[in-house]
C-alpha cells in the first residue's frame, strides 16, 4: 500500500512552476500491478521515482511500508571501469547479501543474461543491449514488494525479450509492478489498475482499460 | 524482502561503497595507484632538495626528511579527503537510484578510502624507516595518533561543507584548488611555527591546519613541542564545520538526490 498525502510536486522553469502533482491525496492498494500513463513530460517517471522514494515531493508526504526496486531500465548505477561481475557484487552488497548468497546470485545472473565472457569484462565494453540485459537480470534476483519499470521492457533481441518477459511474468506472481509505458499492449497484459497523470492531477482507475480510455481521450483533446 | 534496521543498512552500504571505490581506484589506472603511493616520497625528496639548494645544509634538531614525510602524509590525506569528497555527489549520482544509498554515504566511503590509503603509506614509511635504521621513537604516541584521528574528523567536516557548497555554487572547486596551495605553504608543513617571526606567527595561528600539523610533528619529535597548539581553537573549527556541514546537508539532501 502506498499513501499519498497532499502531495505537490513541481519543477521550477523559466516560465514559472510546472506542476506534476498539485495537492494530490490518494491511497494505492497493495498487490496490484499498476500502469502509469500520461503524455510526454506529464511526470510519469517523476511520479514513479517519487513512489519509489528516490525523488521527493515539494510538499506533502508519501508513505509506504513496502520495499521498492530501483527503476529498471536505468544503468546509471554501473561503473564503466568495473566488470559486470564486480558491479553485480556491488549491488548485492548494497542489499546486505552474504558472500555465499552473492556467489549464487552471480551464477544465476551469468546464466540468465548470457553475457558469457563479457561478464568478466568492464561494463564500458558492453553494448547498450548488454547493459540493459545485465540490469534486468540483476533486478530479477531480489525480492521486492514493488518492481519499478520505466518504459524498457524491450531488452535485447527477440529471443531475450521473450525470455525476460517470462521471467518477469513469473516474478510478478510474488511482487507488484509499477510500470511506466506507452505500449498499451504491454500495459493491458501486465497491469490490473492504472494511473493517469495529466496537468497536475492524477487519477487512479481500478481497471487498466478505463485508464487507457481516459489517456486516449486526453491525447485526442490535445492533438 | 527482509527488513533490515538502519545500522545494518548503513554498514552494508558503507562496505559496498568502500570496496567499490577501492576497486575503481585499482581498475581505473594502475599508474594513478602508483602515484598515490609514491607521491609522498617525491614530495619529501623534492623539498629536501629545495631546502639544500636554498639554505644549504642547516643543522636541525630533528630529521628533516622524517619531518616532511609525517607532515605531507597528513596534508595529503587532508587534501584528498576534500578533493575526492567534492566530486562524490555528481560522480555517484547514478547510485542514488538505490534508495538505501544517501549522498553522505558516498562522502564517508571516499574519506574512509583515503584514510585507508594513508594507513598504507604510513606502513610503507615505517618499513623504510626500519630498513634504514631511522630513529622512530615517538615522543607521545597517543597525542600523535590523536592528531591524525582528529585531522580525519576535521577534514571530513570541511569536505562535507565544501561538497554541499560545490553542488549548488559554481566555481567552489576552483577556489578550493587555490586554497589548497595556501594550505600547503601556510600550514607549517616544511617549517615549524617556532622558525617564523612573531608577525608571521600571529597570521599563521588563524589557519586551523597549522595547529593540526604542530600537534602531529610536535608530539613526534623529542626536540619539538606543542606549545603553539590551541586545542580549543581546533575544537571550535571542527565542531562548527561539522555542525554547518550536517545542517546544510540535511536541508539539501533531497535536492542532492534528485540532482
User: How confident is the model over B91-100, as pLDDT tens digits?
Assistant: 888 889 888 9
The whole-number pLDDT of residue B62 equals: 84
Chain A residues with CB-CB distance to B94 below 8 A: 74-78
Q: What is the pLDDT of residue B17?
A: 95
pTM greater than 0.95 (yes/no) = no
Q: Give the model's pLDDT for residue A153.
A: 61
Burial class of residue B242 in the structure, from the number of CB atoms within 10 Å of its CB (0-12 exposed, 13-18 middle, 19+ buried): middle
Interface test with B, best of A60, A79, A84 (most B CBs within 10 A): A79
Q: What is the mean pLDDT of chain B?
A: 90
**Shortest CA distance to A135 belongs to which of A44, A73, A193, A90?**
A73
pLDDT in the model for residue B60? 75
Which pLDDT belongs to residue B106? 96
Residue B91 and residue B87: Cα distance in Å, rounded?
A: 6
Residue B155 half-sphere exposure toward CB, CA atoms < 13 A:
29
Q: HEC states along B42-57?
A: HHHHHHHHHHHHHHCC
Q: Look at residue A111 in the predicted model and tell me its pLDDT.
A: 92
Query: Do A30 and A211 contact (CB within 8 A), yes or no?
Result: no
The pLDDT confidence band at residue A204, using thresholds 50, 70 and 90, is: very high
**A47 and A36 in contact (C-beta within 8 Å)?**
yes
pLDDT for B61: 80
Minimal CA separation from B105 to chain A, in Å: 12
> For residue B57, what pLDDT is reported?
74
pLDDT band at A152 (very low <50, low <70, confident <90, very high): low
Q: Report the distance separating Cα A3 and Cα A53, nearest Å.
A: 12
**A221: distance to nearest CA of chain B, Å?**
32
Per-residue pLDDT at A163 exceeds 70: yes
**Averaged pLDDT, B1-16:** 85
Mean pLDDT of B14-27: 88
CA distance A80 to chain B (A): 9
Domain boundaries, chain B: 6-257
B-chain CB neighbours of A82 within 8 Å are 20, 23-24, 27
pLDDT for A8 beyond 80? yes
Cβ atoms A9, A155 nearer than 8 A: no
What is the rounded CA–CA span in Å between residue B204 and residue B197? 11
Q: Would you place residue A131 in the very low, low, confident or very high pLDDT band (cuts 50, 70, 90)?
A: confident
Residue A15 has pLDDT above 90, yes or no: no
- Per-window interface: A 159-218 vs B, CB < 8 A: none
pLDDT band at A107 (very low <50, low <70, confident <90, very high): very high
pLDDT at B176 over 90: yes
CB A66 within 8 A of CB A1: yes
Q: What does residue B58 show for φ and ψ, rounded to 5 degrees?
A: -75, 150
Q: Given this model, what pLDDT does residue A76 score?
A: 61
Size of chain B in residues: 259
pLDDT score for A182: 84
DSSP symbol at A26: E
Q: How many residues does chain A have?
A: 223
B9 interaction partners in chain A (CB closer than 8 Å):
96
Q: Report yes or no: A106 at the B interface, CB cutoff 8 Å.
A: no
Which part of chain A has CATH 3.40.50.300? Answer: 2-69+179-222
Helix (H, G, I), strand (E, B) or coil at A55: coil
Interface test with A, best of B22, B98, B253 (most A CBs within 10 A): B98
pLDDT class for A70, splitting at 50, 70, 90? confident
Segment A144-148 mean pLDDT: 91
pLDDT exceeds 90 at position A99 = yes
**B253 pLDDT above the threshold of 90:** yes
pLDDT the model gives residue B72: 93
Buried b (16+ CB within 10 A) or exposed e, A21-40: beebeeebeeebbbbbbbbe
**Range with the poorest average pLDDT among A2-11, A30-39, B10-19, B25-34:** B25-34
Confidence of residue A127 (pLDDT cuts 50, 70, 90): confident
Q: What is the pLDDT of residue A186?
A: 86
- The minimal CB distance from A93 to the residues B8, B19, B99 is found for B19
For residues A51 and B2, which has the higher predicted lDDT (pLDDT)?
Answer: A51
Q: At residue A222, does pLDDT exceed 80?
A: no
Q: Is the pLDDT of residue B240 over 60?
A: yes
Residue B119: what pLDDT?
94
- What Cα–Cα distance (Å) separates residue A101 from each residue in A116, A167, B52, B212? 21, 20, 59, 45
Using one digit for the tens of pLDDT, what is the confidence trace for B55-91?
A: 877 777 888 888 999 999 999 999 999 999 999 999 8
Chain A residue with Cα closest to B256: A55
pLDDT the model gives residue B10: 94
From A183, A182, A178, select the one nearest A194 (Cα to Cα).
A178
CATH 3.40.50.300 for domain A2-69+179-222, yes or no, is yes
Mean pLDDT of chain A: 88
A177/A140 Cα distance (integer angstroms): 12
Distance between B4 CA and the closest CA of chain A, angstroms: 9
Q: What ipTM was assigned to the predicted interfaces of this complex?
A: 0.86
- pLDDT class for A154, splitting at 50, 70, 90? low
Q: What is the mean pLDDT of residues B126-135?
A: 86
Amino acid at each position: 500500500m502506498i499513501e499519498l498525502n497532499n502531495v505537490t510536486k513541481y519543477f521550477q522553469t523559466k516560465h514559472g512552476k510546472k506542476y506534476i502533482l498539485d495537492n494530490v491525496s490518494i491511497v494505492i492498494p497493495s498487490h496490484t500491478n499498476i500502469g502509469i500513463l500520461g503524455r510526454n513530460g506529464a511526470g510519469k517517471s517523476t511520479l514513479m521515482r517519487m513512489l519509489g522514494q528516490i525523488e521527493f515531493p515539494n510538499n506533502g508526504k508519501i508513505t509506504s511500508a513496502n520495499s521498492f526496486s530501483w527503476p529498471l531500465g536505468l544503468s546509471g548505477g554501473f561503473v564503466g571501469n568495473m566488470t559486470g561481475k564486480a558491479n553485480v557484487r556491488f549491488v548485492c552488497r548494497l542489499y546486505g547479501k552474504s558472500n555465499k548468497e552473492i556467489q549464487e546470485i552471480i551464477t544465476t545472473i551469468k546464466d540468465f543474461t548470457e553475457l558469457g565472457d563479457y561478464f568478466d569484462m568492464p561494463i564500458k565494453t558492453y553494448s547498450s543491449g548488454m547493459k540493459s540485459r545485465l540490469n534486468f537480470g540483476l533486478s530479477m534476483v531480489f525480492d521486492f514488494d514493488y518492481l519499478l519499470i520505466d518504459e524498457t521492457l524491450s531488452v535485447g533481441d527477440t529471443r531475450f525479450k521473450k525470455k525476460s518477459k517470462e521471467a518477469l511474468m513469473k516474478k510478478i506472481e510474488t511482487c507488484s509492478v509499477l510500470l511506466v509505458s506507452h505500449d498499451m499492449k504491454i500495459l493491458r497484459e501486465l497491469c490490473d489498475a492504472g494511473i493517469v497523470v495529466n496537468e497536475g492531477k492524477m487519477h487512479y482507475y481500478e481497471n487498466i482499460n478505463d485508464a487507457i480510455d481516459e489517456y486516449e481521450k486526453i491525447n485526442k483533446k490535445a492533438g | 524482502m527482509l527488513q533490515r534496521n538502519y545500522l545494518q543498512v548503513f554498514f552494508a552500504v558503507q562496505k559496498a561503497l568502500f570496496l567499490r571505490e577501492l576497486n575503481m581506484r585499482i581498475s581505473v589506472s594502475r599508474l594513478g595507484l602508483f602515484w598515490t603511493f609514491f607521491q609522498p616520497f617525491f614530495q619529501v625528496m623534492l623539498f629536501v632538495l629545495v631546502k639544500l639548494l636554498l639554505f644549504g645544509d642547516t643543522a636541525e634538531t630533528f630529521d628533516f626528511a622524517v619531518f616532511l614525510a609525517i607532515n605531507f602524509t597528513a596534508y595529503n590525506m587532508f587534501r584528498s579527503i576534500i578533493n575526492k569528497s567534492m566530486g562524490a555527489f555528481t560522480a555517484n549520482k547514478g547510485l542514488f537510484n538505490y534508495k538505501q544509498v544517501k549522498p553522505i554515504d558516498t562522502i564517508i566511503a571516499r574519506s574512509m578510502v583515503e584514510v585507508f590509503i594513508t594507513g598504507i603509506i604510513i606502513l610503507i614509511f615505517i618499513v623504510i624507516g626500519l630498513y634504514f635504521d631511522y630513529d622512530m621513537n615517538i615522543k607521545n604516541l597517543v597525542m600523535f595518533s590523536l592528531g591524525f584521528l582528529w585531522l580525519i574528523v576535521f577534514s571530513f567536516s570541511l569536505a562535507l561543507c565544501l561538497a554541499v557548497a560545490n553542488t549548488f555554487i559554481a566555481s567552489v572547486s576552483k577556489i578550493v584548488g587555490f586554497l589548497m596551495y595556501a594550505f600547503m605553504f601556510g600550514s607549517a608543513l616544511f617549517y615549524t611555527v617556532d622558525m617564523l617571526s612573531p608577525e608571521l606567527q600571529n597570521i599563521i595561528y588563524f589557519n586551523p591546519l597549522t595547529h593540526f600539523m604542530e600537534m602531529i610533528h610536535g608530539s613526534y619529535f623529542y626536540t619539538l613541542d606543542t606549545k603553539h597548539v590551541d586545542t580549543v581553537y581546533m575544537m571550535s573549527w571542527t565542531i562548527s564545520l561539522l555542525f554547518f556541514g550536517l545542517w546544510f546537508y540535511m536541508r539539501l539532501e533531497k535536492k542532492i538526490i534528485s540532482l
